[in-house]
Amino acid sequence: MRTFINVEDIGDLGKALAEAREIKDDRFKFQALGKNKTLMMIFFNNSLRTRLSTQKAAMNLGMNVIVLDVNAGAWKLETERGVIMDGDKSEHLLEAIPVMGCYCDMIGVRSFAGLQDRDYDYAETVLNQFIKYSGRPVFAMETATVHPLQAFADLITIEEHKTKKRPKVVLSWAPHCRALPQAVPNSFAQWMNAADVDFVITHPEGYELDPKFTGSARIEYNQMKALEGADFVYAKNWSCPGVTNPADYGKILSRDMGWTIDAAHMAVTDHGKFMHCLPVRRGLIVTDDVIESPDSLVIPEAANREISASVVIKRMLESL
Ligand SMILES: NCCC[C@H](NC(=O)CCC(=O)O)C(=O)O
Ligand SMILES: NC(=O)OP(=O)(O)O
């Protein structure tokens, strides 16, 4: 595997899930694979889970790991071509990327959407420069439009906790005080479409996700109706994807606290499990009682990030 961006990159999902189980049973089984190999993790944005779980996964596989926080200690990087670099950015990404590629065997990139220019974000401009100029396999650690390590961990978690062969999974928008990217819901939708689940998306009008990710997934604008009989409730805020109105891209269109997942929302589900990728803002996305209940899967989801990263890094090591 040379890139890990979309669900297609992992191939057969049944095989990927079996590999995840194998690794979870013995995390150090493939420790010889990564000997004398180096993973470079590059962060343009903050992280807790991705940083720790991906580093742990690489260490389990016997790799060395270098972590670079671009905005804390490195030269500030220019990402656009054709600009006169007379501002605060001292180095261009087009030199920095091949330099970084010299020091490692594999690269993970975190680079969130700027939410200013839809075309720039949805072209995955920064990620694609890493793929083109680093000469190394590259995986997304949440980029402008995708977060596949999260979606893979979510799928593993659903597989572990489902009580029906084909569970109902509902992705629900919830309110937030900041404009957030669409990467998490995009990837979740893409992976759920590929999995054997009954998938429904619910959000206020105007928040339609890009059909490139949602495909033919059912959209239900009535949140309570969508949640009826749900086995899994995946809450997430996202800003306007600009599908119906490009001028609204990246904007907050609703702050409706009626969408916060509370006990009344969970009551209409079928003993539904609560999921969120974290970090989560309590009181906006979810109430304390729901996230603290035995039906909350937020910690097992985070734990499975080590497993999804292990499968991905193992596949990349095998293809070196
Ligand atoms: N990687 C998990 C989510 C990261 C990001 N959340 C955030 O930026 C939340 C920040 C805050 O709550 O201030 C997102 O939604 O894509
Ligand atoms: N869920 C997730 O990716 O968390 P971090 O942003 O903390 O890495």
pLDDT, one tens digit per residue, over 190-218 is: 999 999 999 999 999 999 999 999 999 99
150-301 CATH, one of 3.40.50.1970, 3.40.50.1370, 3.40.50.300, 1.10.10.10: 3.40.50.1370
Joined together, the tokens standing for residue 155 give: 């799928």
Is 250:239 a contact under the CB 8 Å cutoff? yes
Joined together, the tokens standing for residue 13 give: 């999902």
Joined together, the tokens standing for residue 57 give: 């996964």
Report the distance separating Cα 213 and Cα 241, nearest Å.
12
Handedness of CA 13, 217, 173, 159 (dihedral sign): negative
pLDDT at 82: 93
- Residue 34 CA to ligand 1 center (angstroms) comes to 31
Is 148 annotated in a binding site? The answer is yes
pLDDT at 258: 98
Q: Is the CB of 154 under 6 A from ligand 2?
A: no
- Residue 180 CA to ligand 1 center (angstroms) comes to 6
Which regions of the chain carry the CATH code 3.40.50.1370? 3-146+305-318, 150-301
Joined together, the tokens standing for residue 258 give: 């009626």
End-to-end CA distance of the chain: 9
**CB neighbourhood size of 181 (10 A):** 24
**Alpha helix ranges (H) inside 145-295:** 148-161, 183-194, 211-214, 223-227, 263-267, 288-292
Report the distance separating Cα 90 and Cα 77, nearest Å.
6
Percent of the chain at pLDDT exceeding 90 = 97
pLDDT at 288: 98
Mean pLDDT value across the chain: 97
Residue whose C-alpha is closest to residue 193's, from 230, 150, 155, 220: 155
pLDDT at 80: 87
For residue range 18-74, list pLDDT tens digits in order.
999 999 999 999 999 999 999 999 999 999 999 999 999 999 999 999 999 998 888
Residue whose C-alpha is closest to residue 43's, from 61, 59, 63, 65: 65
Q: Flag the least confident range among 76-85, 123-132, 167-176.
A: 76-85
pLDDT at 135 over 90: yes
Is 305 annotated in a binding site? The answer is yes
The atom of ligand 2 lying closest to the CA of 277 is 1
Is 305:132 a contact under the CB 8 Å cutoff? no
Joined together, the tokens standing for residue 131 give: 């793929």
- Give the C-alpha distances (Å, rounded to integers) separating 210 from 18, 80, 129, 216: 30, 24, 22, 11
Q: Is the CB of 178 under 6 A from ligand 1?
A: yes
Q: Is the CB of 287 under 6 A from ligand 2?
A: no
For residue range 211-268, list pLDDT tens digits in order.
999 999 999 999 999 999 999 999 999 999 999 999 999 999 999 999 999 999 999 9
Is 284:309 a contact under the CB 8 Å cutoff? no
3-146+305-318 CATH, one of 3.40.50.2300, 3.40.50.1370, 3.30.70.890, 3.40.710.10: 3.40.50.1370
